Each structure stands twice: as C-alpha cells, then as structure tokens.
Amino acid sequence: MLSRKQKHILLKFFSMFSVVRGYNILIIVIAQYLTSIYIFAPEKPLRKVLFDLNLLMLVLASAAVVAGGYIINNFYDSEKDLINRPNKSMLDKLVSQNTKLSFYFVLNFSAIIMASYVDFKAVLFFSVYIFGIWFYSHKLKRLPIVGNAVSALLTITPFFVIFIYYKNFDTVIFVHGLFLFFIIAIRELTKDLENIKGDLALDYQTIPIKYGENVSKKMITLLVALTLIPAYLLVTKYNIGDMCIYFYLCIALLMIYLVFLWKSNTKRQYLILHNILKFIIVAGVFSILLIDINLVLKRII
C-alpha cells in the first residue's frame, strides 16, 4: 500500500503529466523519428538515424519546448479551462502555478542547452520557437483567424527543425506538410466550436464568437476541401507505398466528419468531431510505417 505522501507525489506527477500532455509529447517524438527514417533521410542507414546524437538533441529540445508551451498555455487559459474542462482543470491545479512556471523555465533552458550541442542555428531556431509559443499564448490566441493559423504553424514546427537538419527539399515533404497543416487548422477551428462557452465568458474573440458558428462551419468545409488536394497528390503523384490506405481512410473520415459537423450544435458533439481529427493525426504518425514496411529490415541488413 502506498503511504499518504507517496499518493500525494503520484497525484502531482499525474497532474504535471496532464499539464504538459505527456501523451502528445510521446507522439511527437515518435513522429519525428519515423519521419526522419522514412521521409527526411530514407537513404541513410537506420543506425545512423537512430544513434545520431544531433537528431536526438533536436528531438529532445523539441519535446521540452512543446511541453513548456503546454505549461504556458495552461497558465494563461486556467480560467477558461475551469469552464470548458472542469475535471482536467481540477487535476492540473494539484500543482501550483509557481511550480508550473519554474518547470516552464527549466524546460526552455534545457532545450537551449540541448540545441547548443548541435549548433548556433539550432539555438536561434528554438529561441524563436519559444518566443513564438509565448507570444501566441499571451496575445495571438485571442485573435480570430490569426490565432488559428499561428497555432497550426507552431504545431508543425518540430517537424520543420528536422526538415532543416536533413536539408531534404523533396516536394513530397512539402505536400505531406501541407496536408498536416490543413488537418491541424481544422482541429483548431473545431476546438473553438467546442470551447465556445469558456471563450465567450472570458471574451476570447474566436471565429465562432465573432462571426458565428455557421461561418466557422463554412471555413472548416473549405479547409476540408483544401485538405483533399494534398491527399489526392500523395496518392496519385508520389510513391508512398501502402500509406495510400491511410489517405483513403482520411478522405472517408473527413466526409463523415463534414456530415456530422453540419448537424452538430453541442459541446459533446464537437468533442466527438475533435476526437475524429485526433485519430486522423495519430493514425497518420504510425501510417508512415506503411511507406515501405520492409525498409527498416533492409537497412538493418
């Protein structure tokens, strides 16, 4: 049996894990390595990718900055989350704001130290990334359209640093990136619909509040249509192996998503739509393996 102190420590651990969204960090780390192996550097021996210390430092620095971003976002959104996500908010409050902010600075400092192992450009990149996340959380998040676009860009930034590291300018990478950007932009707009109550209470000028839910749904529909363009190109113009199965599934899910979007008007319904998009993103990470299921075995041999 755990003692009272041990239970308290365990609860605080889960609280901080919830604040930094540890499950999202894990997915980002896996995604960075899979994209490095299959997309950014498919010609490199597997061991050179997996045991590349520079890549490891970039991945860990990305994870630290993203975790810090979740903390600062939690700090600024604490009142809104109390309305929109009361259960999660109560768990998050088990760790004091001072502890969270201290951890935020430790994470960002650690990221800069790890980036300095690679080179000065990496330090500059992560410094700008840290500032961008803070500025988004402090100012831009409350702005319609601009806030959504910046959030989507910041979300794909960890992949951009790997792209720069490998200097692979193959057009298929840009098409993959465009697809991911559109999916995340759709998710951001869906989150705005889901969080109307809290945003309205705290005067967040999101698209549903400023222009109405109908306009938001029209914008999402346009984004879904735009998402189909890179999906079509990836399936028909590029050699992505069995990953084409994933894009066919995405197209089907997006059509189902659109049908339900126009019938939805409650927080619970928007939450279901949000979960569909999260599934598309997470499934996309692991579907990278389908580009060539034998690639890893070949490179080991």
Residue 85 has pLDDT above 80, yes or no: no
Residue 145 has pLDDT above 80, yes or no: yes
To the nearest whole percent, how much of the chain has pLDDT over 70?
95
The candidate with the shortest Cα–Cα distance to 111, out of 127, 133, 92, is 127
How much is the pLDDT for 109? 97
- 103/254 Cα distance (integer angstroms): 38
Residue 120 has pLDDT above 60, yes or no: yes
Nearby residues of 219 by Cβ (< 8 Å), 6 or more positions away: 189, 207
Specify the higher pLDDT residue, 1 or 156.
Answer: 156
Residue 252 has pLDDT above 90, yes or no: yes
Q: What is the pLDDT of residues 255-283, one digit of tens each?
A: 999 999 999 999 899 999 999 999 999 99
Residue 295 has pLDDT above 60, yes or no: no
Q: What is the pLDDT of residues 241-250, one digit of tens each?
A: 889 999 999 9
pTM of the predicted model as reported, rounded to 2 decimal places: 0.90
| Of 9-18, 144-153, 240-249, 267-276, the least confident | 9-18
How much is the pLDDT for 179? 96
How much is the pLDDT for 293? 59
What are the structural domains, with CATH classification, of the chain?
18-140 (1.10.357), 170-301 (1.20.120)
Computed over every residue of the chain, the mean pLDDT equals 88
